[in-house]
Amino acid sequence: QVQVAESGGGLVQAGGSLRLSCIVSGLTFDDNAMGWFRQAPGKEREGVTCISWSGESIYYSDSVKGRFTISRDKATNTVYLQMNSLKPEDTAMYYCTALGSLCTLYYPHALKWAASWGQGTQVTVSP
């Protein structure tokens, strides 16, 4: 059974930083692209960033490019999201998921490809 567990969220002032972690089990980590998605209240879930299974290809949404960095650690089956220069509009529940062989930031595709979704971790950025 695939399990995904996100952590690291919290309350931070605008301009601050947070580092999210996502531990995955129950699948072959090295075979999977990993993605971070987020959902703000009243809004649809959206793709934030994705890293390919090899780590060689990385994609960011325009809204976070230059501020967020995704990375993966094969030794611990963990994906990280370093978030710098946070803005109030980054406030959302953040989810990670394993996407199989291909990256996507398009949520409808992620719904079809994702092995499992975690409970998410809340990020709140105050003005």
Residue 105 vs residues 45, 120, 122: alpha-carbon distances, Å: 10, 17, 19
Per-residue pLDDT band for 36 (boundaries 50, 70, 90) equals very high
Q: Give me the pLDDT at residue 25, please.
A: 93
Per-residue pLDDT band for 44 (boundaries 50, 70, 90) equals very high
Percentage of the residues of the chain whose pLDDT score is greater than 70: 100
DSSP 88: G
| Burial zone of 39 (CB within 10 Å; 0-12 exposed, 13-18 middle, 19+ buried) | middle
CA 43 – CA 96 distance, rounded (Å): 17
Q: Give me the pLDDT at residue 113, please.
A: 86
Q: Give me the pLDDT at residue 40, please.
A: 97
CB 21 within 8 A of CB 77: no
| Burial zone of 27 (CB within 10 Å; 0-12 exposed, 13-18 middle, 19+ buried) | middle
Question: Chain-centre distance of CA 81, in angstroms?
Answer: 6
Q: Give me the pLDDT at residue 42, please.
A: 94
Q: Give me the pLDDT at residue 72, please.
A: 97
pLDDT tens digits for range 79-118: 999 999 999 999 999 999 999 999 999 999 999 988 889 8
